[in-house]
Structure 1
Amino acid sequence: MRYAVQRLIQAIPVFVITTFLIYTMVFALPGDPILALAGDKPVPEQVLNVMREHYHLNDPLLVQYGYYMLGVFQGNLGETFTGQSVSELLGDRWAVTAQLAVTAWIFELVVGIGLGIVAGLRRGGIADTAVLAGTTFIIAVPVFVFGYTAQILLGLNLGLFPTAGTDEGWPGSYLLPGMVLGSFGLAYVARLTRTSLVENLRADYVRTATAKGLRRHRIVGLHALRNSLIPVVTYLGIDFGNLMAGAVVTEGIFNLPGIGQQVFQSIQLQEGPVVVGVVTLLVMIFIVANLVVDLLYGVLDPRIRRA
């Protein structure tokens, strides 16, 4: 419990500093978002002043950030310059991106660790060579090429998966885009698992367990694999936030109405509150993921918890 509380306290300044930097980068940019909202149409100066006062645009940047954080701690991500709640705007879209990220993450976890174990246990064999060659190929191919190719071959030609939209719900509509999004993380998970497992199988404690007569599956499963998963858990925890943030291209290929599309549109319309709101949620996800990773460290290796 003390270990978890310490990690949670350490996350608070990270959250404040990160959100402040993001807020500054978005709202310190030159230009007036109220004038941008009006476009080419003339707007009375009185209306402009009322709008700027309502959104605290006349206040110093630090004061603006203070108002924003006060709303965040109350569960309010602010509102757009058209008066729409950011939380409501992101509600349905957030669910789409979350389901896509979860599908991709599960794909990375199950297939990536499985391939890494197979390659690690058969180091130098055909399976090991195939995994290393396959993951190298996946990393080398750009995501939009891989996505469109998978969409044409597996979706249109073979008809194995839906090609676009969310009509079939989860998991049907998310399987193919989830595999595309998670394939790059899968390559790193497989390689990391394989390398870590090979190193641990050479360790002295494995030789000692073998000399004591323990069965091979017990040595690998209980000792070597458990220690090998520590760096893999680190990557998987951080990568979940990356999947949420990096789904823009995949959502575009498969026409998924997630937050990636919304952020792209908001940047074009200079809707700073939407961009900051999305990034704030992503920062929260990164922090929670890192906290879960730290707690899993204590489960996988009790020495970390005691330290």
Structure 2
Amino acid sequence: MWRYVLRRLLQAVPVFFGTTFLIYGLVFALPGDPIQALAGEKPLPPSVVNALHERYNLDDPLLIQYGKYLVGLVQGDLGETFDGQDVSAVLSGRWAVTAQLAATAWLFELAVGIALGVWAGLRRGRLADTLVLGGTTLVIAVPVFVLGYTAQIVLGLHWQIFPTAGTDDGWPMSYLLPGIVLGSLGLSYVARLTRTSLAENLRSDYVRTAHAKGLTRVRVIGKHTLRNSLIPVITFLGVDFGTLMGGAIVTEGIFNLPGIGQQVFQSIQLKEGPVVVGATTLLVLIFLLVNLIVDLLYGVLDPRIRHE
């Protein structure tokens, strides 16, 4: 087990460096001078521009800039913004919001998506199966901003079931509606994956053997069939958690949640490259960690899988 974990961590090293270098290069390759953007339309004296360029290594080659960034990153320093603020301080107050939003959406996908998938998979070809397939297709086809504004107007303003914006009501109330909106697309895929995998496994030889041994239907489905059927679902859920953390920009904007997504969007507009790079670097680390956990869960779901 530990040898496998070490091997996966070593495999994650080139992925981390390659991803962060690509992000760093793309961010700092954006047109325009970020130092001049601080002053807006008012021109800055050349001496000030040169001093700030030197302070933030903007005149160095890209590889040198990236190397200096990695040196600071190893020491736990994400750098500072072009107006002198520490990037860690800028992001620290927003991580909790995005983490709670992503966790709410992920739990919604996990619970409701698997339940709908099992319901449809056990009734393949019947009305329940048709309803799940039709409903998930509709959700996939609707853009997230349309779904978000519709849910906000209907469930928030008209029916007043959920708060419409902000985090004043705390978790979970302030995060339920945006979490449902953010997790709706992933829920559709989870339901479809569970439904297809369960329906296929129900026709397997080991299921017929279990029934022939006299095991109850609940035991056959719950202990044997469902565990094997959840392997592709867990794979998707692991990947999707990182996607939820990084893909909350639209949802946070609709529901006015002061999270990482909103901060990254604002930083892109202001050409604050250090904030964008710092946030995405942390998201990459979360993504790699979650995928390692998913790989370890395979052995729990399927005893035939051994990490040796």
Q: TM-score range by the shorter chain?
A: over 0.9
**Residue 260 of structure 2 aligns with which residue?**
259
Question: After TM superposition, what 4+ stretches of structure 1 lie above 6 angstroms from structure 2?
Answer: none
Q: Distance in 2 between matches of 1:235 and 1:266?
A: 30
Q: Does 1:114 align with 2:87?
A: no
- Give a deviation string over 1:47-100, Cα, whole Å, max 9, x none: 222211111112211111011111112221111000011111111122111111
Amino acid at match of 2:212: A
**Residue 127 of structure 2 aligns with which residue?**
126
**Residue 22 of structure 2 aligns with which residue?**
21
**Residue 138 of structure 2 aligns with which residue?**
137
Query: Would the aligned equivalents of 1:78 and 1:86 in 2 still touch at CA under 8 Å?
Result: yes
**Residue 13 of structure 2 aligns with which residue?**
12
Question: Across the two proteins, how many residue pairs are aligned to each other?
Answer: 307
Amino acid at match of 1:244: M
Distance change >3 Å, CA 302–CA 63, structure 1 → 2: farther
The structural deviation recorded for 1:23 is 0.5
The structural deviation recorded for 1:306 is 4.3
Query: Would the aligned equivalents of 1:7 and 1:294 in 2 still touch at CA under 8 Å?
Result: no
**Residue 3 of structure 2 aligns with which residue?**
2
Amino acid at match of 1:75: G
Q: TM-score, normalised by structure 2?
A: 0.96
Unmatched tracts of structure 1, length 5 or more: none
Query: Would the aligned equivalents of 1:28 and 1:61 in 2 still touch at CA under 8 Å?
Result: no
Taking the TM superposition and a 5 Å limit, the aligned residue runs for 1:225-304 are: 225-304=226-305
Distance change >3 Å, CA 150–CA 40, structure 1 → 2: closer
Query: Would the aligned equivalents of 1:230 and 1:300 in 2 still touch at CA under 8 Å?
Result: yes
Distance change >3 Å, CA 75–CA 236, structure 1 → 2: same
How well do the aligned residues superpose, as a CA RMSD in angstroms?
A: 1.3
**Residue 87 of structure 1 aligns with which residue?**
88
Unmatched tracts of structure 2, length 5 or more: none
Taking the TM superposition and a 5 Å limit, the aligned residue runs for 1:14-93 are: 14-93=15-94
Q: Distance in 2 between matches of 1:2 and 1:60?
A: 38
Amino acid at match of 2:12: A
SS at match of 1:123: coil
Q: Distance in 1 between matches of 2:14 and 2:303?
A: 27
Q: Percent identity?
A: 73
Q: Distance in 2 between matches of 1:165 and 1:49?
A: 41
Amino acid at match of 1:149: T
Q: TM-score, normalised by structure 1?
A: 0.96
Q: Distance in 1 between matches of 2:307 and 2:281?
A: 32
Distance change >3 Å, CA 168–CA 60, structure 1 → 2: same
The structural deviation recorded for 1:28 is 2.6
Distance change >3 Å, CA 42–CA 159, structure 1 → 2: closer
Distance change >3 Å, CA 124–CA 5, structure 1 → 2: same
**Residue 162 of structure 1 aligns with which residue?**
163
Query: Would the aligned equivalents of 1:263 and 1:275 in 2 still touch at CA under 8 Å?
Result: yes
Amino acid at match of 2:133: L
**Residue 154 of structure 2 aligns with which residue?**
153
Amino acid at match of 1:122: R
Q: Distance in 2 between matches of 1:41 and 1:284?
A: 39
Q: Distance in 1 between matches of 2:28 and 2:165?
A: 35
Amino acid at match of 1:24: G
Query: Would the aligned equivalents of 1:112 and 1:186 in 2 still touch at CA under 8 Å?
Result: yes
**Which sits farther off after the overlay, 56-65 or 25-34?**
25-34
Q: Distance in 2 between matches of 1:102 and 1:141?
A: 22
SS at match of 1:122: coil
**Which sits farther off after the overlay, 58-67 or 173-182?**
58-67
**Residue 221 of structure 1 aligns with which residue?**
222
